[in-house]
A and B are shown apart, each in its own frame.
Chain A
Amino acid sequence: MNTLTKSDAQTLSTEQARPVLDVIDVTIRYGEKPAINKVSLSIPQHRITAIIGPSGCGKSTLLRAFNRMNDFIPNVGMEGQILYMGSDIYARQVDPVEVRRRIGMVFQKPNPFPKSIFQNVAWGPSINGFSGNLEARVEQSIRRAALWEEVSDRLHESALALSGGQQQRLCIARALAMEPDVILMDEPCSALDPVSTARIEDLMFELKERYTIVIVTHNMQQAARVSNLTAFLENGSLVEFGETDQVFTRPQHKRTEDYVTGRFG
């Protein structure tokens, strides 16, 4: 056992990690036009999985399918299955509200509510009938989002007064307060400066101890830096999915290689 090399151990642990989300033959259409075409992949627990690809390849659509946010877009049709811990999240008797409580989301642009910092974080637990110590939950969530030092003395001031990077970490704290299993991040740093981006990336490393993270990004360096696994999408099809190291250094497909080396995209 102790003769395993480091990279063997990594591969093994990835393979053994339980899949939290199983995407099986998923096709998503806007009207007639397929945005996602027969995609299958498994997202392992406590790992960061990056979805990369050129603009319009469907990466956000796929991500939003994981917590049924596509339900709000009219004329979206989906075929195939998405399993969360083995259960179909699109099954008829499943309430999408329940799905979203377990699978949180952070959006491209920070979207704090026009309420106080405290209320932003407390909002999720309070609407979901949380009966424990709300203040402790809020503090813990803000600490985990690496924001506590900056806001602990002004929890009751408006969240809109925070900087963009702080707002985005507040949105992460808001998602964490629901104690989800999975956190979906849709280009969470695209509206942020490099310093704020670095802070969020550091935060993701800490968060993967407890949470499974799926991040959509158009920034390949970011995917290479933060993720354990990378899925490369093009025109709605999954071209390649594997260990991030391998996808970036020894891609199996020519298209992946062209994309990660910056030949298009």
Chain B
Amino acid sequence: MPQVSTANPLLAGASTRKYRTREDLIRFVLFLCAFLSILTTLSIIAILAWEAYSFFREVGVFDFLSGTRWTPLLEPRSFGVLPLVAGTAQIVVGASLIAIPVGLASAIYLAEFASAKVRRVLKPVLEILAGIPTVVYGYFALTFVTPLIAAVFPSTQIFNAASASIVVGIMVLPMTASLCDDALRAVPESLRQGAFALGATQFEVTLRVVLPAALSGVMASFVLAASRAIGETMAVTLAAGATPKMTLDPLQSIQTMTAYIVQVSLGDTPVGTVEYQTIFAVAALLFTITLGMNVIAHRVLARFREVYE
């Protein structure tokens, strides 16, 4: 049997221990930084939950979720959130109609057709576009897009869903394109080569091999784009209006969940009243919807990764 040496050279020197202490300290500080962001998120959720709970002691959850009249600040007061949900849905659908086809097409061009040179320029440009402050998009909607729509449809209201949808679509377009591009490029080169070797054209390879193989990544990017459109605030506050309304006419003024929260936060609603607590209830709903969509997107992406790794 091997003898354990009593004078273990590996344990010699106090310097080793000092070194270890410093390592531990650094690790602890880094952990604190990481923990801080989790803590912040948790506190936000806690406040949301608490304030929403207070709200729901006054107003029934069912009345809130199924009511079709949202007039918390006017008499007779009514707390049916559906008009705000409908407003948000209208923006999301409109924005998706722009962002999904154009974003996917740009991604296909970038990933499959563009030369390395073109790509080197276009990809960073896309990412810069994603960094434009959203308030700029809001003014763009009001001062440029709305007059344009009004020129075609004279019945257009100054604040309208169409204009906001269009700019939100443009706003989430770079993200959609960039995420789709990542998904397409994650398809192994060997699949493209295999398809080309069977006498496929570039278009056939893209449409019938690469796109199906990247489908879950592409779908996930659509969900993330929609989730981003749901949470979008500035542009819809500026351009879509402040009229909670269930309408399918995109030329009318509406109000989204986010725009309502802005309206009440900026107004003189007294803290602690039911009117004030409505924003937490709406925020909690908004949070639940976007969280759900992000979870779906990540699930879909995780399945996609399993196939290739």
Contact = CB atoms under 8 A, between A and B. Distances in A.
Q: Which 8 A-B pairs have the closest CB atoms?
A: A101-B199, A124-B198, A111-B190, A105-B197, A111-B194, A100-B199, A127-B204, A114-B213
A74 B116 contact: yes
A111 B208 contact: no
A124 B197 CA distance: 9
A107 B198 contact: no
| Interface hub of B116, B200, B307 (most chain A Cβ within 10 A) | B200
25 contacts: A74-B116, A97-B200, A97-B201, A100-B197, A100-B199, A101-B198, A101-B199, A107-B193, A107-B194, A109-B190, A111-B190, A112-B194, A113-B195, A113-B213, A114-B191, A123-B195, A123-B198, A123-B208, A123-B209, A124-B198, A127-B199, A171-B194, A174-B194, A174-B198, A178-B199
A72 interface: yes
Contacts of A160: 307
Contacts of A109: 190
Interface of B: 115-116, 188, 190-191, 193-201, 204, 208-209, 212-213, 307
A84 B259 CA distance: 68
Contact of A107 (B116, B190, B208, B307): B190
B197 A175 contact: yes
Interface in A92-144: 97-98, 100-101, 104-105, 107, 109, 111-115, 123-124, 127-128
Given A100-B199, A127-B208, A72 B193 contact: yes
A171 B116 CA distance: 30
Interface residues of A, number: 26
A103 B191 CA distance: 18
A113 B197 contact: no
Contacts of A113: 191, 194-195, 209, 213
Nearest to A120: B194
Given A127-B198, A175-B198, A178-B198, A111 B193 contact: yes
Contact of A104 (B116, B198, B201, B204): B198
A227 interface: no
Contacts of A104: 197-198
Contact of A98 (B190, B194, B199, B213): B199
A128 B199 contact: yes
Contacts of B191: 111, 113-114
A100 B196 contact: yes
A124 B190 contact: no
A69 interface: yes
Contacts of B199: 97-98, 100-101, 124, 127-128, 178
A201 B193 CA distance: 23
A98 B193 CA distance: 15
A67 interface: yes
Contacts of A178: 198-199
B197 A67 contact: yes
A114 B307 contact: yes
User: Of residues B194, B196, B197, B307, which shows the largest number of chain A Cβ atoms within 10 Å of its Cβ?
Assistant: B197
B216 to A, nearest CB: 10
Interface in A206-256: none
Interface string A54-96: 0000000000000101001010000000000000000000000
B60 to A, nearest CB: 49
Contacts of A112: 194
Contacts of B209: 113, 123
Interface string A183-196: 00000000000000
Contacts of A115: 212
Contacts of A100: 196-199
B188 to A, nearest CB: 7
Contact of A69 (B116, B193, B200, B208): B193
A160 B304 CA distance: 13
B195 to A, nearest CB: 7
Contacts of A124: 198-200
A100 B200 CA distance: 8
A111 B197 CA distance: 11
B182 to A, nearest CB: 18
Contacts of A114: 191, 212-213, 307
Interface in A156-214: 160, 171, 174-175, 178
A93 to B, nearest CB: 17
A72 B307 CA distance: 25
Contacts of B195: 113, 123
A113 B198 CA distance: 12
A114 B306 CA distance: 12
A128 B201 CA distance: 10
A115 B212 CA distance: 9
A178 B209 CA distance: 17
A70 to B, nearest CB: 11
A74 B194 CA distance: 18
A21 to B, nearest CB: 16
B209 to A, nearest CB: 6
A72 B198 CA distance: 14
A38 B197 CA distance: 25
Contacts of B188: 111
